[in-house]
Structure 1
Amino acid sequence: YVGAFTLLFLPQLRLTRGAAAWLVSSIYTPKSYAEYLAAIGVILLSAGISFLFTYYLSKFIAKSFNVVHIKKLSYVVAVTLVVISYLLTGPMGIAVLLVSTAIGMMAAAFNTRRSYCLGGLILPVLISMTGHTGYFMHLLGLG
């Protein structure tokens, strides 16, 4: 309730709760109530469109499970993700994809939470965002 109240009725507080709000606030912050209402309208419109899209898409996918085997579908999705990753990022993106996949599989291998592995992925990004990459690479003996 507090978050909804703050979002809808107190935009002048400029409070950012959560990582997504913090990252978006560096890109866009409404300057007036008209911009604030327009941003809320766009959020509600996109949420409504995504709800309808997801609703009808889930019906289609539920019907297709009788036709397509889940194992074959998983292979198609995996290949599609690798192709998209290669097209958007090149060979370096495939390397990052393989490393992050291996880190994600460690959770199942060691029977731990996936959030612990997520910390291993987020920490290097945070270090890079602070501009201390060279210091940490020197500290680890990598550079």
Structure 2
Amino acid sequence: MNTINEPSLYLNSQQKERVPSPELGKDEFLKILMTQLQNQDPLNPMEDREFISQMATFTTLEQTINMANSIDKLVQSQLISPVIQYSHMIEKIVTYQQYDDQTGQLIGEKSSQVVAVSQKDGWAILELKNGDRVYADAVIEVRDSIKGSE
């Protein structure tokens, strides 16, 4: 029967060298604070004001990190949204292939002006002036709108 020497596997997977980080996060700040508290002189403890100041700094740091994460999530959600990605298509003339609903046969090509963009199941849908609704990936040509055209 094969045996696994667990301690050697654990030790082999550990990082051999310490890699310094230029960032000071909340975990590192807490470690520093706890080290200060553990190693302070019992006859000359940290002043209350100093401790409160450090805790306020920690709270500010944590709130800043949380706010930055929230802003990142907001930006990412805006970039991912199909409506945002295809909003520049509004007022453009698009050409798309039209298919027969019953047979699936290609009927021909149609063109119309985009009046709105919506989404369904994560896909962008272009709403057209002629009443049609087409998926954005079905468009085969995009042109600037010309006055007097549909």
TM-score by length of 2: 0.26
More strand by share: 2
Question: Considering only CA atoms, is the larger Rg found in Structure 1 or Structure 2?
Answer: 2
More helix by share: 1
